[in-house]
Amino acid sequence: MSTPPDKRVAFVTGGSRGIGEAIVRQLANDSMHVVAVARNSEKLAGVLAGLTTAGHSVEALSIDVGDGVALAAGVEAIIEKHGRLDVLVNNAGITRDGLFMRMEDKDFDDVININLRAAFVACRAAARSMIRAKWGRIINIASVSGLIGNAGQVNYSASKAGLIGMTKSIARELAGKQVTANCVAPGFTTTDMTDVLPPQIREKVVELIPLRRFGSPADVAHMVAFLASEHAGYITGQVIAVDGGMAM
């Protein structure tokens, strides 16, 4: 069954936890039909259960975004099912941290594949529908690490810097069709990735943040929701840091 013609359809990767879950919830609250994408179907079901009960329009799609063929097919299936895809949020990402002198090729390649190549595949698959509609929002979740680098994260920083460059190029290619492409670059955000940091490391990190606190997933989700809205139609090719001032 397709969605009502006045309801935007959003496709959010990495939607089962952390920032991705917050984005799914925020876009659903903003009356979009949200397709939450992740590998873990059980976690996806948990996220969507409460939203469905509350009357929101959501669905789950269990895909490993590292499988480019499956990801492209998933995007195309959603377009065929609903007749549209208005908002694409590439949020899925992994880390394989380590000093670059000791980093294995596989750890570099895996991070590039999930964080950058998968976003490229999803953008390419979604763009044709957006071009036909002459309306679309591509929002790629980068990182402050892609702006300023981070020791021990050569692979992650490279993937996020690449995502920024790719997004700017896509923005130039699609602007004439009224499709925007932007990056949101979170700083240190309270998720399961940062929860494992020892207290002494967290204290040192907070000292580097002008606002003196970690961000929340909701901080990022609010910015994504704005960029996905009608109000952001004249913003494209931008990188907006949601980082408490780290990269200024």
Length of the chain: 248
What is the rounded distance in angstroms from the CA atom of residue 193 to the CA atom of residue 127?
31
Among residues 11, 156, 188, 214, which one is catalytic? 156
**Angle at alpha carbon of residue 189, lines to 186 and 193, rounded to 5°:** 110
234 part of the active site: no
Residue positions annotated with a catalytic role: 156
